[in-house]
Structures are given as C-alpha cells and as structure tokens.
Structure 1
Amino acid sequence: MSHRSRIGCIVIDCQTDDLSAACAFWSAALGKEAKVDPDGKYAQFDGHAGYPKILLQAVDHAPRVHLDIETDDRQAEADRLEALGATREGDVKNWTVMQAPTGHRFCLVRPQGEDFPGAAAEWT
C-alpha cells in the first residue's frame, strides 16, 4: 500500500494573541493581503497561487517557521519519517507534530490543496 506527501504550507508562527501587526508586516513584505480567520488564530494570504502556501499562526511559544507536510496517510508518513530518524512529538487536533533529527519541528496534516496529490511524492 502506498501513500503520498508534499510540503503543503510554510507556517510563520507568531508569538501573539493578535495577528494584526503580523498581518500588516507580512502582507507588506510579501505583497499579498493576509486575512485572519474567524477565530483569530490563523491568517492566509490572498492571491497566492501554487504550493506551498504561506500561513500565519498565533502561538504561545517562541516565534519560528515550520513546515506542514500534507499526506493522504498520516500514520504511514509518520512511520516513514521515524524510520529516517524523526521523532513523533504528539498529535494535536487533526495533525501530528514531528521533530527532525536536526531539531526542526514540522507537522503532518491531511491534504490541504485542492490539487492534491499534485506533485506529491509517492511512497511504498
């Protein structure tokens, strides 16, 4: 049985309860308007075509950037990445937080793109 995965999103984690200032800066920096979702936790950029997408996220931890990897089988992808040396840090809502051997955190998420699998890699 095979599964697919690809980088779906670059997430800019902003240590804040209010994404307004982050939206203003990143909108100006990227030349795209960021719109905050109704719960105020995420902002997406209008007019961004293709993948990966760019997302702002309000977080409690120190600011950083992380990758979201889209996959049609989170368990299989987590197992594959653990075999490569990653560690599973835990599940949050409907995603899995992983850590690469280099110390970088990233998330495994369900397919986000309407064109998935698109250019996703296929793993057996």
Structure 2
Amino acid sequence: MPHHSRLSTFVLDCEVDDLTPHVEFWSRALGKAVKAADEDGDGRYAVLDTADDEPILLLQKVDHASRIHLDIEADDIDAEADRLEALGARRIGFVKRWWVMEAPSGHRFCVVRPQRETFGPHTNHWD
C-alpha cells in the first residue's frame, strides 16, 4: 500500500525517578531550550525545542536501561511496519498508538503516527 515515512524523533530513554534534572542536562548539553518540561502532565515525557527541519528530541522516563532510540513517523503505521518486517525487522508489540520494532541488529525503534503537520522535503514515498 502506498504510504509515506521519515525519521521523526530521537528518544532519550531515561531510567530515572525524576526526569527534571535530566531534561535540564540535555537541554544545556545540546543547546536546545525546553519546549515542554512535562508534555503529558504525568512526568514521563519532555520535549526540547528543535527547528521544523530537525528531528524531534524527546526525553522519556522508562523502566528499562537508559538508551537512545529513534522513531519513524508514517501516515500508515501498519503499512510501514509491514515494509520494515519485509526488510528483516520484527514487531515487538503495539503500545498505545505505535509499533515497537526491533531491527536485525537488535536495536529497538518505534513506528509512530505523524508528529508534525506536514512531511516536507525529507519524506520517503513507498509504493
């Protein structure tokens, strides 16, 4: 099925009790202002301010070891997950509104719904 996708987000998974000091660290380390210190009001997500043509920088409080993963946004997440499976990835599970995937290399990543209004010039078109 034809669909579109692109690199969306670098997610800094943080195994911590309080995300706040880590948001401050990454903000200062990357020279990016804090756009949302508590995006969903539950203390689990924070967003740093990036330009429209840059990937989103999201900090996420998690229960597993700290790491960085990426998100791929797609206008059809099931079609994108199918495409990636055909390349050798595997589906780990569906969480809320996205697929958690694993690359053949063992890296985890997510396929998410569009995170920005338009896909823009860096969009991949898949048939």
- TM-score, L = length of structure 1: 0.93
**Pairwise CA RMSD of aligned residues?**
1.2
Following superposition, the deviation at residue 52 of structure 1 comes to 1.0
Alignment deviations for residues 3-42 of structure 1 (CA, whole Å, 9 cap, x no partner)? 0000100000000131112112101101122222221111
Structure 1 partner of 2:78: 75
Structure 1 partner of 2:12: 12
Gap regions ≥5 residues in structure 2: none
Alignment deviations for residues 38-59 of structure 1 (CA, whole Å, 9 cap, x no partner)? 211111113x102311110000
Report the AA paired with residue 106 of structure 2.
G
Structure 2 partner of 1:21: 21
Aligned mates of 1:15, 1:114 — CA distance in 2: 30
- TM-score, L = length of structure 2: 0.91
Gap regions ≥5 residues in structure 1: none
Paired residue total = 123
1:32 equivalent to 2:35? Answer no
Aligned mates of 2:54, 2:77 — CA distance in 1: 19
Following superposition, the deviation at residue 113 of structure 1 comes to 1.0
1:122 equivalent to 2:125? Answer yes
Give SS of 1:77's match: helix
**Percent of aligned positions with the same letter in both sequences?**
58
Following superposition, the deviation at residue 117 of structure 1 comes to 4.9
